[in-house]
Amino acid sequence: MSRPARREFTYDRANVRGGRILEIGALDSPTFPERNINYLDWFSRDELMAELAENPRHTAGRIVDADYVVKDIRFAEHIDARFDVVIANHVIEHVADPITWLQQIRVVAPYGDLFLAVPDRRHTFDYLRPDSTIAPMLRAHSEDLQQPSRWQLLDALIYYRSFLAENAWAGDFAPLEKPRFTVTEALKRSLQGDDEYGDTHCHMFSAPSFAGLIADLSRLSHTPRGGRTLSRHISQ
């Protein structure tokens, strides 16, 4: 779904005009660029501009200047403000420990709305990877992962396949490209997860699997409470 469609969806269901809004990981595509809202990111604008300068999918000069730059998954401890709406488009799949991340939302928006755009892995470069189950999420939570682990990186590197999203939505997955890396190369590259932040899709979802995981986590009391939580399954 496009940004205009996400804007309309959020406008219809949240106090966007009068409420206080926090957007997480907006990069160069904030949902409401014309509004005075707050931004949160792991990296500063300068760091992101340097990292994405050669990335054709992003416009480095349009990256938002985050109000909160927090290199800590427990970001709520660094934010005194409380918000009516939290937006995170294509973020949760990058989070090593989604359980802790969701708990932070509960703190910064105790009575607010959470809007997520979540890629359906069946229509992305994660096509060959299985849907994540609750077990690896609980393991990541028990290990208190602050950033993607070497094993999450390894899985992403091995099974990554490049193809056009529009072809995927049309059901055309063949021929899939050959792996970008051999297992040996992927293992070597994945070791960076021990020392530095390696961005990747840590968890994979389809529309039904994401809804099921949220329901399971809710029964385990790991999802935000005290407010409405709205999710939207949007493919890349």
Domains of the chain: which residue ranges?
A: 3-233
Using one digit for the tens of pLDDT, what is the confidence trace for 61-70? 889 999 999 9
Q: Does domain 3-233 have CATH number 1.10.3470?
A: no
Rounded to 10 degrees, the C-alpha dihedral 70/76/81/84 comes to 110
Q: Residue 236's CB: how many other CB atoms inside 10 A?
A: 16
Neighbour-count burial for 163-201, b at 16+ CB within 10 Å, e otherwise: beeeebeeeeeeeeeeeeeeeeebeebbeebeeeebebb
pLDDT of 167 > 80? The answer is no
Confidence band for 175, pLDDT divided at 50, 70 and 90: low
Answer positive or negative: Cα dihedral of 8, 12, 16, 17. positive
Give pLDDT, residue 35. 83
Token pair of 227, please?
């407010």
Rg of the chain over Cα atoms, rounded to whole angstroms, equals 17
Q: What is the pLDDT of residues 32-49, one digit of tens each?
A: 988 889 999 999 999 999
- Give the tens place of pLDDT for each residue, 181-196: 999 999 999 998 888 8
Global confidence as pTM: 0.87
As a whole number of angstroms, the distance between CA 131 and CA 215 comes to 15
Mean pLDDT within 146-163: 92
Q: What is the pLDDT of residue 174?
A: 66
Please, which residues have CB within 8 angstroms of residue 7's CB and are 6 or more apart in sequence?
31, 32
Residues paired with 233 in a beta bridge: 118
> Which percentage of the chain shows pLDDT scores above 90?
61
Element (H, E) at 47: helix 45-52
pLDDT tens, position by position, 77-125: 999 999 999 999 999 999 999 999 999 999 999 989 999 999 999 888 8
Instruction: Spell out where the chain has E strands.
Output: 21-24, 38-41, 68-69, 85-89, 113-118, 229-233
